[in-house]
């Protein structure tokens, strides 16, 4: 750990709204949550709430799962230090009189092995108890045990007066869901169909791939399968990853525009000093560059990282947090009035023009030449029809303000995301696409799609869960260095879907196909 948190960041350790009176007059409690990096707490000097100073002798620390110890037992020696991993909460129980309702300043003085002596100072409130409402059962000891899960299942059935059979049926150890799902009660079984094989001619994905597609939309798998067959007859799809960057975009607020301008220049001048601070939090995250955007009195910094096989949103959040902590501690220019780790400028889980232009996740292109005879025999359209249809529909997309001038990239991406354990909300960004077509001088159809913000992973998140891992194994995308391979496969699938649906609409087969495959009569 090489950075020292600034007082502004230390405030973020405190869990707002956690200040409360303990039952039966046992004292007062509040919580801190480690949002920085794994540290060991080596000592607690005192706590102060309002005017009440509480020495360490009157403080008990509770890590949950029965790990409770007096603050006086802390020390720098092994066995005395209290390890606090990232994301872990620590409850401070103070043996003092109950507090009346109101707003109180809260201060904590403690020591750590990596960060030295720290002082957290915030404001919180004691509020009246809320009216009693049913609460979902959970277990502090093991919330993924069969007993905890069954308690929630009984609660759901009693609360709704319904019996659930399929929801409760699953074939994996629920403990594998730690970090993926809270209050686990069961599974949603989404049908998985196979399309392909698809011949992919990529730099990382080379060969024929069976494509698992999780969907409840009739015709979807059949449509993508049809597009893949046509691409295969024409030599397959050529796929290329042309960009890779994951962002976090903090904002720094100044008293005026000049202060923001000077700060932006300082960041540019000190990039090589900022880089090791950001990279100190991860073996994988590498800071590529920082874009600075100035408006009003705000300086928006767009940190761009490579993140290995992980999608990396959490990884780059942590890395940017460390970098910004160093910036806050070392910048000596005009005063930074406010700081927010995310300004909405990374547009996380939102489609945006900046990510179309600048890349978020993987920027990947899929392209193919579809032979004239194959297109006419299999799709019942000519290259000229599809190319002209593309021009007309691009105008429609422009008029509507869509993030995509293609047909339905979100369909294939969503089906693959669900099957392989991706963060499905990222479809909002990943579905952005730029489709281009032209008739070649030989009379064939050249078709190309660029996906500028495809957020995928083959490690972390939900990729290691039972069925999701099996679907990644089906694609040969398990193990280090496979994320580009997966990105190329996704892009190839998207192109196959664009070809199939565009041809169906142009040839007026669209409605009849849905009548045949998509209606659940």
Q: CA-to-CA distance for 139 and 148, rounded, in angstroms?
A: 6
> What are residue 343's phi and psi, to 5 degrees?
-105, 0
Q: Terminal CA-to-CA distance of the chain, rounded, Å?
A: 61
Residue with tokens 């401070």: 92
Catalytic positions are 217, 423, 514
Q: 353: how many CB neighbours lie within 10 A of its CB?
A: 10
Q: 276: how many CB neighbours lie within 10 A of its CB?
A: 14
CB burial of residue 71 (10 Å; 0-12, 13-18, 19+)? buried
Q: What is the 3-state secondary structure (H, E, C) of 287-329?
A: EEEEEEEEECCEEEEEEEEECCCCCCHHHHHHHHHHHHHHHHH
In 3D space, the residue among 481, 490, 427 whose CA is nearest the CA of residue 459 turns out to be 481
Residues in the chain: 521
Q: What one-character DSSP code corresponds to residue 377? A: I
3-class SS of residue 114: coil
Q: What one-character DSSP code corresponds to residue 32? A: E
213: enclosing H helix or E strand: strand 206-214
Distance of CA 278 to the CA centre of its chain: 19
The strand pairing partners of 82, in sequence order, are 41
Alpha helix (H) residue ranges in 377-445: 383-400, 409-420, 427-430
Extract the tokens encoding 480.
Answer: 């280090």
Q: 196: how many CB neighbours lie within 10 A of its CB?
A: 23
Q: CA-to-CA distance for 98 and 28, rounded, in angstroms?
A: 6
CB burial of residue 434 (10 Å; 0-12, 13-18, 19+)? middle
CB burial of residue 520 (10 Å; 0-12, 13-18, 19+)? exposed
Q: CA-to-CA distance for 418 and 210, rounded, in angstroms?
A: 16
Gyration radius (Cα) of the chain, Å: 28
Residue with tokens 């339905």: 408
Distance of CA 214 to the CA centre of its chain: 20
């Amino acid at each position: 750990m090489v950075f020292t948190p600034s007082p502004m960041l230390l405030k973020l350790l405190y869990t707002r709204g956690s200040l409360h009176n303990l039952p039966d007059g046992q004292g007062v409690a509040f919580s801190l949550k480690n949002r920085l990096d794994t540290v060991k707490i080596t000592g607690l000097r005192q706590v102060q709430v309002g005017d009440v100073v509480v020495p360490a002798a009157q403080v008990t620390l509770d890590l949950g799962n029965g790990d409770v110890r007096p603050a006086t037992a802390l020390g720098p020696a092994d066995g005395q230090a209290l390890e606090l991993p990232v994301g872990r909460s620590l409850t401070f129980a103070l043996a003092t009189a109950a507090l009346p309702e109101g707003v109180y300043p809260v201060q904590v003085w403690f020591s750590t092995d990596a960060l030295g002596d720290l002082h957290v100072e915030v404001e919180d409130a004691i509020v009246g108890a809320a009216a009693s409402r049913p609460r979902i059962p959970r277990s502090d000891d093991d919330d993924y045990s069969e007993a905890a899960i069954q308690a929630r299942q009984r609660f759901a059935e009693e609360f709704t007066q319904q019996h659930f059979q399929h929801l409760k049926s699953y074939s994996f150890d629920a403990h594998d869901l730690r970090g993926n799902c809270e209050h686990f009660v069961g599974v949603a079984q989404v049908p998985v169909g196979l399309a392909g094989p698809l011949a992919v001619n990529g730099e990382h994905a080379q060969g024929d791939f069976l494509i698992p597609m999780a969907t409840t939309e009739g015709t979807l798998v059949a449509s993508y399968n049809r597009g893949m067959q046509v691409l295969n007859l024409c030599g397959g799809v050529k796929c290329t990853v042309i960009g890779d960057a994951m962002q976090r975009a903090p904002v720094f607020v100044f008293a005026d525009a000049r202060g923001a301008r000077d700060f932006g220049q300082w960041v540019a001048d000190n990039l090589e000093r900022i880089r090791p601070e950001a990279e100190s939090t991860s073996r994988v995250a590498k800071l590529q560059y920082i874009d600075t955007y100035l408006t009003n009195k705000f300086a928006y910094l767009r940190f761009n990282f490579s993140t290995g096989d992980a999608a990396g949103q959490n990884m780059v959040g942590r890395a940017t947090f460390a970098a910004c902590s160093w910036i806050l501690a070392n910048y000596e220019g005009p005063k930074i009035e406010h700081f927010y780790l995310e300004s909405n400028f990374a547009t996380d889980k939102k489609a945006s023009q900046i990510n179309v232009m600048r890349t978020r996740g993987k920027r990947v292109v899929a392209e193919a030449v579809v032979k004239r005879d194959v297109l006419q025999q299999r799709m019942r359209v000519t290259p000229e029809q599809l190319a002209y249809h593309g021009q007309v529909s691009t105008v429609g997309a422009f008029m509507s303000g869509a993030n995509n001038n293609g047909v339905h990239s979100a369909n294939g991406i969503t089906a693959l995301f669900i099957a392989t354990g991706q963060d499905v909300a990222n479809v909002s960004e990943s579905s952005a696409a730029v489709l281009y077509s032209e008739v070649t001088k030989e009379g064939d159809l050249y078709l190309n799609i660029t996906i500028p913000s495809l957020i995928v992973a083959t490690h972390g998140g939900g990729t290691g869960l039972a069925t999701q891992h099996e679907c990644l194994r089906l694609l040969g995308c398990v193990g280090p260095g496979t994320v580009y391979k997966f990105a190329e496969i996704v892009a190839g699938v998207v192109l196959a879907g664009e070809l199939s649906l565009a041809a169906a609409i142009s040839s007026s087969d669209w409605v009849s196909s849905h009548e045949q495959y998509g209606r659940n009569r």
